[in-house]
Amino acid sequence: MKFFVFDLEATCWEYQTNNQQEIIEIGICIVDEYGRLSKSFSSFIKPVLNPSLSNYCKNLTGINQSDVEKAKIFPIVIEQILDWAEIPDEEYVFCAWGTKDYKLIESDARLHRIDIDWLSPYIDAKSQYHQNRELENKSGLYKVLKKNGFEFDGPQHRALSDASNLAKIISKYIDEWVF
């Protein structure tokens, strides 16, 4: 069983809006059953409902308008990922920090009318990490990394660096994850 550790960045606005968020970047690290990082993948994704990124989103993520304009749309990127990861030929458990990224994939899949049966089983690493340690206050990934003796590598709010940092926690506790 391999661990498909992913993180997403999505369209966002400084103030609450009725706009539907869409994925604009995905980062993935594959961790083998021994806790070793085997390979990684990163791609921008072109949003279709709100193709212009807000200034807030660009400042938060460091993602430029030109990055998403020249990117492929969600279904094409998902197909590239499934080919790259050899899904369904390999057995995976999908992992992210919390449920937001899973819900974003569900939302984009509905928008583009694509199936996501492949996205199971799924581990909410944030909840399991805190449950396993009987911690009531759910710390963010940055604090959890520090508490476990790791430095946060790369820029925050970038999908690949967030995924690779989460992979450190997945690797450290490789035998504890339940799916």
- For 73-128, the pLDDT digits (tens) are 999 999 999 999 998 888 999 999 999 999 999 999 999 999 999 999 999 999 99
Instruction: Confirm whether 178 is domain-assigned.
Output: no
How many domains are there within the chain? Answer: 1
* pTM of the predicted protein model: 0.94
State residue 143's pLDDT score.
95
Query: Average pLDDT for residues 54-81, to the nearest whole number?
Result: 97
**Segments of 121-167 assigned E as strands:** 122-124
Tokens representing 19 are 């706009």
Helices (H) and strands (E) in the chain, counts: 7, 6
CATH of residue 36's domain is: 3.30.420.10
pLDDT single digits (tens) 29-41: 999 999 999 999 9
CA–CA separation, 174 vs 158, rounded Å?
24
State residue 136's pLDDT score.
84
**Following CA atoms 84, 89, 91, 92 in sequence, which dihedral angle do they give, to the nearest 10 degrees?**
20
pLDDT single digits (tens) 127-138: 999 999 998 888
Rounded to the nearest integer, the mean pLDDT of the chain is: 95
Query: Average pLDDT for residues 64-81, to the nearest whole number?
Result: 98
Instruction: Confirm whether 56 is domain-assigned.
Output: yes
Instruction: Confirm whether 129 is domain-assigned.
Output: yes
CA distances to 3, 43, 76 from 24, rounded to whole Å, are 22, 8, 13
Instruction: Confirm whether 13 is domain-assigned.
Output: yes
State residue 51's pLDDT score.
96
Instruction: Confirm whether 177 is domain-assigned.
Output: no
State residue 147's pLDDT score.
95
Residue 76's domain comprises 2-172
State residue 170's pLDDT score.
98
Q: Are 25 and 70 in contact (CB under 8 A)?
A: no
Residue 179 banded pLDDT, cuts 50, 70, 90: confident
Tell me the residue type at 100: K
Query: Average pLDDT for residues 10-36, to the nearest whole number?
Result: 95
CA–CA separation, 143 vs 151, rounded Å?
10
State residue 71's pLDDT score.
98
CA angle 107, 155, 1 (to 5 degrees): 60
Residue 15 banded pLDDT, cuts 50, 70, 90: very high
Instruction: Confirm whether 179 is domain-assigned.
Output: no
